C-alpha cells in the first residue's frame, strides 16, 4: 500500500483523501489552515457532505487517515502527493493558481526521494508545465519526480458516492512508471473494472474543462428551450423526456431551472472561455452558455414581478432554498443571491429558509430574516419562491401553505410542485417552461 499525502482539505481534498484511505492506503491530509485541521482532529467535518463523516471516522479509526498542518513533513514522507487546493476565479476570468504554485514550491523544497506529484484541483490547461518548473527550480539535490494530472469529477452533495463509484478515472501521465503507481492507488476501482483512461497531461486537464463546460452548456440549452416552451405552450418536462430518450442525448442535466451556480460551472466556463480567447480559438458556444445563464437568473426575478403584478417595494417574499443545489450548504453563485438582492434593492423584504444553508448565506446577507422551517418562512408573505429543489419542499402540504401565506402566489423555479394541486388549491403560480396559471 502507498503512502499518500493530500494537500488541501476542501471538499475535493477531504473526499479524495478519505476515499483513497478507504482503498487501504495510508493517507495524510495536510492544510495550512489550523482551524480546519483542529476540527478534523477532533472528529468534526468542516463541510456538509453526505456520507463524509462516516467515511472519515471509519478510516481514522482504522489508523489509515490522519490530519496535519505540517505540510513539509507530510510531503517528505509520501510516495504520492495530491495537490487539491483551491483555484478561485480572478478578476480577469482566469483561474487563480497562486495556491497551487505555492504548494509546488513547497513540494520542490521537500522532495527527498522519488515521488509522483498529482494535481486534482481544476487548473487551466498548461498548468502542469508551470508546476513541474516550480518544483524543479526549488528542488534540493537527490529529488526526483513524475507529474500526473488526475482531475476530479465529484459533485457536491454526492461527492463520496462519486469518488467511490466513479464513471471513469482520468490519469494524464507521460511516464509509465507514474501511470502504474497511479493505477495501484486506484486498484480497487480497477479491479471492479471501472475504466481508467490514460492520456497525456494536457489532455487530462482539457477533459475536465470540456466536461464541465459541456454540462453547463446542456443546462443553458434546456433553459432556453424551456423559455421557448412558455411562448409556444409546450411542456419542457415532456420535451426533455422526449429528447433524453434518445441515447445520444441522455436525460441527465436536462432539468430546467433558475440557472446553474456553485463553485465550479460559473468559474470553469469563464476560465475555459478566457483560455480559448487567449489561444486565439474562441469558444462561442461557451460564451453563449454563460450569457444565457446570466439572463436566466434575471428572468426569474422578472417572473416574480409579473406574478406579483408590481415591483417589490413594500412586499414580503418567502424564499425557500438558498443553496445552489440540494444536499449542500454551499451558496456560492447560487441563483437565490440575485433573487434576494433584487427584492431588497427595490425595498422588499425577504423571509428565507434553507434546511442547511441559512448559516452560509449569513456571510452574504447578514441581516436577512432567516427562519427554521418553510412554514415560518411563508407565514404572512405576499409571494413564495422555490429556489432549491430540497426534498422537503417537494412534499410540502399545499393546503397548509395556502393557509399561512397572505397571498397565494408561488414561483417554482425548480418545477417540483404539482401544477394540478396548485390549481386545485387556487394558487396563482409560475414555473420554468411549463403551464402558467395567472
Residue 393 CB, nearest distance to ligand UGA (Å)? Answer: 14
**What are the backbone dihedrals phi and psi of residue 176, each rounded to the nearest 5 degrees, phi first?**
-65, -35
- Closest contact distance (angstroms) between CB of 324 and ligand UGA is 4
Please say whether the beta carbons of 24 and 4 come within 8 A: no
Cα 377 to chain centroid, rounded = 26
Q: Which three cell numbers stand for residue 38?
A: 483542529
| Nearer CB in complex with ligand UGA: 324/370 | 324
Instruction: Give the nearer residue to ligand UGA in terms of CB position, either 82 or 260.
Output: 260
Residue 378 catalytic? no
Closest CA to 427 of 408, 404, 401: 408
Closer residue to ligand UGA, CB minimum distance, 254 or 368: 254
Closest-CA residue to 244 (of 228, 221, 260): 221
Which CA distances in Å does 223 have to 157, 230, 257, 342, 435? 22, 11, 7, 21, 15
Q: Which long-range contacts (CB under 8 A, 24 or more apart) does 158-165 make?
A: 158/50, 158/327, 159/11, 159/12, 159/15, 159/49, 159/52, 160/15, 160/18, 160/19, 160/49, 160/50, 160/51, 160/52, 160/55, 161/51, 163/15, 163/16, 163/19, 164/19, 164/22, 165/194
Distances (CA, A) of 430 to 75, 226, 306, 386: 55, 13, 9, 11
For the CB of residue 387, give the shortest distance to ligand UGA in the complex, in Å: 10
From 29, 118, 264, 378, active-site residue:
264
User: Is the Cβ of residue 253 or residue 425 nearer to ligand UGA in the bound state?
Assistant: 253
Minimum distance between the CB of residue 192 and ligand UGA, rounded to whole angstroms?
Answer: 20
C-alpha cell at 327: 444536499
Of 70 and 168, CB closest to ligand UGA: 168
Q: Which is nearer to ligand UGA, 128 or 258 (CB)?
A: 258
Q: How far is the CB of 414 from ligand UGA (least distance, A)?
A: 8
- Residue 172 has what DSSP assignment? E
User: How far apart are CB 333 and ligand UGA at their closest, in Å?
Assistant: 8
Contact set with ligand UGA (CB under 6 A)? 122, 152-156, 212, 215, 219, 253-255, 257, 260-262, 264-265, 268, 324-325
User: Grid coordinates representing 403?
Assistant: 393557509
For residues 307 and 438, the answer to whether their CB atoms sit within 8 Å is yes
Q: Could you give the residue numbers annotated as active site?
A: 264
Amino acid at each position: 500500500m502507498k503512502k499518500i499525502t493530500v494537500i488541501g482539505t476542501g471538499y475535493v481534498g477531504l473526499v479524495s483523501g478519505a476515499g483513497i484511505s478507504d482503498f487501504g492506503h495510508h493517507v495524510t491530509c495536510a492544510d495550512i489552515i489550523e482551524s480546519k485541521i483542529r476540527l478534523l482532529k477532533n472528529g468534526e467535518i468542516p463541510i456538509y457532505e453526505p456520507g463524509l463523516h462516516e467515511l472519515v471516522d471509519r478510516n481514522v479509526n482504522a489508523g489509515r487517515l490522519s490530519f496535519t498542518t505540517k505540510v513539509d513533513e507530510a510531503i517528505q514522507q509520501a510516495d504520492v502527493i495530491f495537490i487539491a487546493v483551491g483555484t478561485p476565479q480572478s478578476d480577469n476570468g482566469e483561474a487563480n493558481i497562486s495556491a497551487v504554485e505555492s504548494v509546488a514550491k513547497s513540494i520542490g523544497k521537500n522532495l527527498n526521494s522519488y515521488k509522483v506529484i498529482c494535481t486534482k484541483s481544476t487548473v487551466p490547461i498548461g498548468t502542469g508545465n508551470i508546476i513541474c518548473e516550480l518544483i524543479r527550480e526549488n528542488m534540493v539535490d537527490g529529488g526526483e519526480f513524475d507529474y500526473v494530472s488526475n482531475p476530479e469529477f465529484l459533485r457536491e452533495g454526492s461527492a463520496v458516492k462519486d469518488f467511490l463509484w466513479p464513471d471513469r478515472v482520468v490519469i494524464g501521465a507521460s511516464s509509465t512508471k507514474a501511470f502504474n503507481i497511479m493505477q495501484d492507488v486506484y486498484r480497487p476501482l480497477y479491479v471492479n473494472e471501472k475504466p481508467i483512461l490514460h492520456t497525456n497531461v494536457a489532455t487530462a486537464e482539457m477533459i475536465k474543462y470540456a466536461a464541465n463546460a459541456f454540462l453547463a452548456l446542456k443546462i443553458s440549452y434546456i433553459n432556453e428551450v424551456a423559455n421557448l416552451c412558455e411562448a409556444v405552450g409546450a411542456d419542457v418536462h415532456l420535451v426533455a423526456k422526449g429528447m433524453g430518450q434518445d441515447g445520444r442525448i441522455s436525460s441527465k442535466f436536462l432539468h430546467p431551472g433558475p440557472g446553474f451556480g456553485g463553485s465550479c460551472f460559473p468559474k470553469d466556463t469563464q476560465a475555459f472561455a478566457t483560455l480559448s480567447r487567449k489561444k486565439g480559438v474562441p469558444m462561442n458556444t461557451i460564451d453563449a452558455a454563460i450569457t444565457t445563464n446570466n439572463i436566466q437568473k434575471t428572468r426569474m426575478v422578472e417572473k416574480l414581478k409579473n406574478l406579483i403584478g408590481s415591483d417589490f417595494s413594500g412586499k414580503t417574499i418567502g424564499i425557500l432554498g438558498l443553496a445552489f443545489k440540494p444536499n449542500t450548504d454551499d451558496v456560492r453563485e447560487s441563483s437565490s443571491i440575485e433573487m434576494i438582492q433584487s427584492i431588497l434593492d427595490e425595498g422588499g423584504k425577504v423571509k428565507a429558509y434553507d434546511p442547511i444553508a441559512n448559516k452560509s448565506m449569513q456571510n452574504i446577507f447578514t441581516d436577512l430574516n432567516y427562519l427554521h422551517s418553510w412554514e415560518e418562512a411563508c407565514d404572512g408573505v405576499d409571494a413564495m419562491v422555490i429556489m432549491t429543489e430540497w426534498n422537503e419542499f417537494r412534499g410540502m402540504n399545499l393546503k397548509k401553505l395556502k393557509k399561512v401565506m397572505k397571498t397565494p402566489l408561488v414561483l417554482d423555479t425548480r418545477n417540483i410542485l404539482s401544477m394540478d394541486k396548485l390549481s386545485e388549491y387556487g394558487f396563482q403560480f409560475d414555473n420554468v417552461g411549463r403551464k402558467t396559471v395567472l
